[in-house]
Amino acid sequence: MEPKRMRPLVLILLVLVLAACTESSASRVDERTFRVEGPSMGIDTDAPNRRLANRLCPKGFRILDTATMKGGPDRAHYEAGDAGATTVWTIRCI
Please write the tens of the pLDDT for every residue from 43-89.
Answer: 667 788 899 999 999 999 999 999 887 765 555 555 555 556 778 89
Q: How many structural domains comprise the chain?
A: 1
pLDDT of residue 80: 57
What's the whole-model pTM score? Answer: 0.64
Answer whether 33's CB lies under 8 Å from 90's CB: yes
Q: Is the pLDDT of residue 4 over 70?
A: no
Domain limits for position 73 = 24-93
pLDDT of residue 2: 59
With respect to residue 3, please indicate whether it lies within any of the assigned structural domains: no
Single out the residue of 45, 43, 62 nearest to residue 53, CA to CA: 62
With respect to residue 6, please indicate whether it lies within any of the assigned structural domains: no
With respect to residue 32, please indicate whether it lies within any of the assigned structural domains: yes
Greater pLDDT, 40 or 57: 57
